[in-house]
Amino acid sequence: MQGLWGKITEQTKAYADITHAIDNGSFPISLHGLSEEALFQLFARYADECQVVLVFSQDHQARAARTMIQSFVTGIVHYFPARPTYFYDIEAFSHENMNQRLRTLHHLQRGSKGIYVTCTEAMMNPMLPKKQYGELRLVVGQMIEPQKVIESLVKLGYRRETMIEGPGQFSARGGIIDCFPSDAEDPLRLEFFDIEIDSIRSFDLGTQRSFENSQEALIPAAVEFILTQDQRQRVAVGIEKDLAETTKKEKHGAERTKRVEKFEKVIHQIESDLPLPSAALCYPYLEESESLLNWLQADAVLVLEEPDRILEAGRDQQHQFHHRLEELHLAGETLSRHAEALLPFEQLPLENRRLITSTRLLKNSRFFAPKALVQVRTKANPVFHRKFELLAQETKRLLARDGTVVFFTGSTERALALKQYLEEARIPVLSDFQTQPGFVTISKESLNQGFEYIDEKIFLFGEAEVYGGSKRKRRKREKEKSRRIETFMDLKVGDYVVHEEFGIGQYQGIEQKVILGIKRDYLIVQYRGTDRLYVPVDQMQILQKFIGGDAGSPRLNKMGSDDWKRTKQTARKAIEIMARELLEHYAKRESVKGYAFSDDNEWQRQFEDLFPYEETQDQLQCIEEIKSDMQKPSPMDRLLCGDVGYGKTEVALRAAFKAVLDGKQVAILVPTTILAQQHYNTFLSRFQEFPVKVEMLSRFRTAKQQQSIFRDVKAGNIDVIVGTHRILSKNLQYKDLGLLIVDEEQRFGVRHKEAMKMMKASVDVLTLSATPIPRTLHMSMIGVRDLSVIDEPPEERLPVQTFVVEYQEELVRDAIRRELEREGQVYFVFNRVKGIRSMQGKLQKLIPEARIAVAHGQMGERELEAVMVAFLDGEIDVLISTTIIETGMDIPNVNTMIIFDADRLGLSQLYQLRGRIGRSNRLAFAYFTFQKNKVLSEVAEKRLKAIREFTEFGAGFKIAMRDLEIRGAGNLLGAEQHGHMASIGYDLYVKYLEQAVSLYTGSLELGSEESESKLELQVDAYIPDEYIQDAEQKIRMYKRIATIESTADYSEILDELIDRFGEPPAALINLMRIAKVRAGAKHAGFSTISHTKKGVVMNFAKALSFTPELGKMLMDHYARMVDFDLSTEFPKIFLLKRDCTAEEALLLMEEAVGMICEFFKN
């Protein structure tokens, strides 16, 4: 776990004194004078020997400590967050917080040594005994019935699904069980041979494919709160008694009625083996409740960071908890004994623990009487921020004092560069891992903030002092969420579909039919009236799911009507016009002489090195594309797309800096004054180390200030100007504008877009869009529009704790007060302008002390702006708003969001709204509320179900992203084209766009596109229900099979089927073989291939497809078995075999099509 820092720590008096006190058992030990980094390094040194538990007063301090320690140790730093104490009936909640607690508990249960970080509130959470948490151990070769494994998983709290999407779930089909252990990075696949475990494999959640074999699996509990039958009974009895005691003295009224109804329902849940309600409702009735302390090993070292603050935080928690409890009790939500749902910090059994308290200053603790006192002198180092001459001077001064100087650089490149610089300055440098007084050591290890051990004269310099910051490493994340959505074909019954010939219909499900003794599955599509279309599953590629954006449900077409033909023709013509115009614009821009920017220099590299995060691959790719465009002599016109927080601003900053280095000016155009202010602050902060002058032009500047800015821009005294449409003003004259950056272009009006077009004529332009676009649209526009896309999710932020819950005033008051208590702010989303003022009145009555304001799109621009600025400045506590906050502002202090009637909003809206919070180091909370007794429409009910699934397991993430991407496509293409997309569906639109682009770029001749080939063969070809039971999974697999284009595709899908479902039956193998033959036939140019009693007939679609060389090749191979008919317009090939069976015909087709494809390829 330790590196050079560990070796240095061992040389210090602090380490010797602490080790001596620990060995003597002189607890509690009082430690003074260590800086935070020094403290972490000192105790990380003991992590290989025992459990070291660092306790902080606040949760965000514990998380920050984990990040800091993780930067210099190689092992895992275990983080144990607090469990929120709730007494509400929560429909669904996000599991990230629970899974993090579980991961840490599993390590504690196994007695794992290492570093653990936690906070006061987590110490106060009651917990079940350690011995109660079992785990399931499975080994390859073990004899156990699959049903027994399923029962064990259910007991451990795992939830059964048709296909798993996150930790805590399992699925079972035939002899295969998939399970996602709550402490694992990847899910597991258990394959059985009868009752023997044949294999245990890890698999990828996105592709569902296995990638690694294991010999055993340890599957821990999936939930923290699991009760035995005896405990359930005792809790039910305890609640029943407490309910009787609590209500005995109460008068009859609404609160008493509510209390009785609520807890009678809770008792029923517990006694009926239903999922348990909130843990806080049950813990007070369990005698065996414990705290985190009971889970630690006897020799664990417990370090309290600033103990007086911890004690104070404990008292604050207790006070706030009891205050909330009083209000909930009056509202009928709790019982008398629920005051025991949080353990008082002073009552935790700390006296027999190996306890160490740490304070910066020497002071008497109000909490402990220490048996040993250890004082260490450390202090902060000077900061150089890349001023290497000053660094060299200071280093020489320290070495002259016989000091030991160590630089932690964080990378090999930085280490080599610094070594070279210091050696040129004649400073003696030792190799990594050696230290000696009077010498410098340069390490490639990470250390954010350095410090000085005063007595030892050891000077440790971290990346913050030398470079101005350290690169924060990206942690491994779930693969599923980082995968691009390749297809939109996830069909459910009731979805709308598009058939290119017949138009828009509604999918009704799969039906199996036997025709002429042959069994096949058919997709049923309902059209207007009584028209129905039966599509064989092996031809399902002719159907596409209808995706038209936000236009609502489309109108069904009548089969064979002219309406659909007219709609298609109109859309196709408009698409061709757009493609031609884009291509003309592209070609014209290529011919215009612009400015070719210089290659990157040392300043550019220094600027990029100051970025505090490790760049994603997508960011690096986009930066490379933009720089390449800027270095060409023709002007750049590039669109950069990516979701909120995916790092677009950093890409724009680097482009801006590149322009400024060449003496060019940069203009950044944004749609609102607030965004101008935010961008201005960002650019100012990022450029602060360099001589770059940044200014802002918006209504926040007085008339006098604006005139001064106009003069400075004209004189060239301003390098970067950020502003609203005012920077398009004719009065603003640039000395030498080189780059225009436009944020959210679709939000500007026609007049401003015209002004932009004039500006764009000769300068480089980078347009940013916060709405992602579909990959297929991106690909189809290559050659007519320069697009860069950031797909990779951002550096992992703290997950937002999300709850789906009935709207209750008590909950709202509780949630808002919790946020205000930590000096934060709240978004309250109320998506109806009518009634928004009434809601403001209700909330004001509920929380009189809160400063509450309203924001919606019908307010005047200046009035709305004033509200938003006041909110940004912290003058408003709660902002009641419509969904206008969905995009735009980034306010780190807003970390609670309550959405009223969440069932009225789509998943993509909820996804974007939730993205507005959790943008700081604080844990954020989102409450998706609904009206419990309201009669929900079928659509709202489905939406609420989707919200629950989305909240619990991230299910529906793809749907949310798909809706967002379609919206992004509309923004990119404009209103008219978006209308055509909505009329014919996204997939058909993209197909026509690809054809139009190919036509105008010369890569496709008119009428040359390949048409589908038809196979006439009477064999069973379908997926039996016994093999894949779930209809949606079956549809997905049919879709996968329909994409087979080659033998490699065939083999890959066959491997996937065997991996996920076991050995495929003959009917499914037939289906795949037919798909492979059809794809080959299409590429080879056949219109139909038919099975007859005499063999196989292959019809070409074009006269030119057949050549004498092809005929010779076939005759050489088949001899008398082959014949040709060249007398008709379209040639035919006959493969002759008397009394040819369907199986023989399929073999002939596979062989012949494969040979002909290979012939044309060569």
Mapping DSSP onto H, E and C, the string for 162-229 reads CCCCCCCEEEEECCEEEECCCCCCCCEEEEEECCEEEEEEEECCCCCCEEEEECEEEEECCCCCCCCH
Read off the amino acid at residue 342. Answer: L
Reported in sequence order, the residue ranges of 970-1109 that DSSP labels E, i.e. its strands, are 1014-1016, 1086-1092, 1095-1100
Q: Is the pLDDT of residue 635 over 70?
A: yes
Q: What is the CATH number of domain 135-220?
A: 3.30.2060.10
Mapping DSSP onto H, E and C, the string for 314-328 reads HHHHHHHHHHHHHHH
Per-residue pLDDT reduced to its tens digit, 1125-1145: 988 888 999 999 888 999 999
Contact 905, 939 (CB under 8 A): no
Rounded Cα–Cα distance for residues 285 and 287 (Å) = 6
Q: Is the pLDDT of residue 841 over 50?
A: yes
pLDDT score, position 72:
83
Q: Which three-class secondary structure state does DSSP give residue 159?
A: strand
Least confident segment among 189-198, 324-333, 984-993, 1150-1159:
984-993
Rounded Cα–Cα distance for residues 789 and 778 (Å) = 8
Rounded Cα–Cα distance for residues 1001 and 576 (Å) = 12
Q: Which helix (H) or strand (E) holds 78?
A: strand 77-80
Rounded Cα–Cα distance for residues 571 and 1136 (Å) = 47
Fold of 381-467: Rossmann fold (3.40.50)
Reported in sequence order, the residue ranges of 773-891 that DSSP labels E, i.e. its strands, are 786-790, 801-806, 825-829, 852-855, 878-881
* Interval 193-216 mean pLDDT: 91
Fold of 1038-1161: Aspartate Aminotransferase, domain 1 (3.90.1150)
Q: Which helix (H) or strand (E) holds 583?
A: helix 562-591
Residue given tokens 């709204």 in the structure block: 913
Question: In the numeric block, which tokens belong to residue 336?
Answer: 């008398």
Question: In the numeric block, which tokens belong to residue 883?
Answer: 């969904």
Judge whether 4-129+289-375 and 592-790 match in fold: yes
Read off the amino acid at residue 84. Answer: P
pLDDT score, position 771:
72
Read off the amino acid at residue 572. Answer: R
Question: In the numeric block, which tokens belong to residue 851?
Answer: 């400063």
Q: Is the pLDDT of residue 177 over 60?
A: yes
Q: Is the pLDDT of residue 1090 over 90?
A: yes
* Interval 379-400 mean pLDDT: 88
Which is more confident, 1112 or 1? 1112
Q: Is the dihedral of CA 153, 159, 160, 163 positive or negative?
A: negative
Question: In the numeric block, which tokens belong to residue 771?
Answer: 């709405």
* Interval 894-916 mean pLDDT: 86
Which is more confident, 870 or 970? 870
Mean pLDDT of the chain: 87
Omega cis (within 30) before 793: no
pLDDT score, position 477:
43
pLDDT score, position 1:
52
Q: Name which CATH class applies to 801-969.
A: alpha beta
- Counting every residue written for the chain, the total comes to 1162
Q: How many CA atoms lie within 13 A of 694 on its CB side?
A: 22
Rounded Cα–Cα distance for residues 435 and 451 (Å) = 16
Q: Is the pLDDT of residue 1054 over 90?
A: yes
Rounded Cα–Cα distance for residues 246 and 570 (Å) = 72
pLDDT range class, residue 1122, cuts 50, 70, 90: very high
Nearest CA-CA partner of 1037 in 1068, 1063, 1015, 1013: 1068
Q: Is the pLDDT of residue 1023 over 70?
A: yes
Q: Is the pLDDT of residue 1103 over 90?
A: no
DSSP code per residue over 541-569? GGEEE---SSS-SPPPPPTT-HHHHHHHH
CATH architecture of 592-790: 3-Layer(aba) Sandwich (3.40)
The phi, psi pair for 999, rounded to 5°, reads -65, -45
* Interval 710-735 mean pLDDT: 92
Q: Is the dihedral of CA 600, 606, 607, 612 positive or negative?
A: positive
Which is more confident, 745 or 57? 57
Q: Which helix (H) or strand (E) holds 407?
A: strand 404-408
Contact 136, 197 (CB under 8 A): no
Say if strands 1095-1100 and 1086-1092 run parallel, antiparallel, or are unpaired.
antiparallel
Q: Where are the domains of the chain?
A: 4-129+289-375, 135-220, 381-467, 592-790, 801-969, 1038-1161
576: CB partners within 8 A, 6+ apart? 996, 999, 1000
Say if strands 496-499 and 301-305 run parallel, antiparallel, or are unpaired.
unpaired
pLDDT range class, residue 961, cuts 50, 70, 90: low
Domain 4-129+289-375 has CATH 3.40.50.300: yes
Distances (CA, A) of 45 to 10, 18, 74, 507, 757: 8, 11, 12, 63, 62
Q: What is the CA radius of gyration of the chain?
A: 34
The phi, psi pair for 1123, rounded to 5°, reads -145, 160
Read off the amino acid at residue 115. Answer: I
> 10 Å Cβ neighbour count for 1015?
21
Least confident segment among 52-66, 586-600, 1013-1027:
586-600
* Interval 273-288 mean pLDDT: 87
Say if strands 532-536 and 720-723 run parallel, antiparallel, or are unpaired.
unpaired
Q: Is the dihedral of CA 146, 150, 153, 155 positive or negative?
A: negative
Looking at residue 462, the DSSP 8-state letter turns out to be -
pLDDT score, position 494:
87
pLDDT score, position 479:
38
Looking at residue 598, the DSSP 8-state letter turns out to be P
* Interval 977-999 mean pLDDT: 84
Per-residue pLDDT reduced to its tens digit, 415-465: 888 899 899 999 989 876 788 899 999 998 888 888 999 999 999 998 888
* Interval 930-944 mean pLDDT: 70
Per-residue pLDDT reduced to its tens digit, 661-697: 999 999 999 988 888 888 999 999 999 889 999 999 9
Question: In the numeric block, which tokens belong to residue 760?
Answer: 């764009």
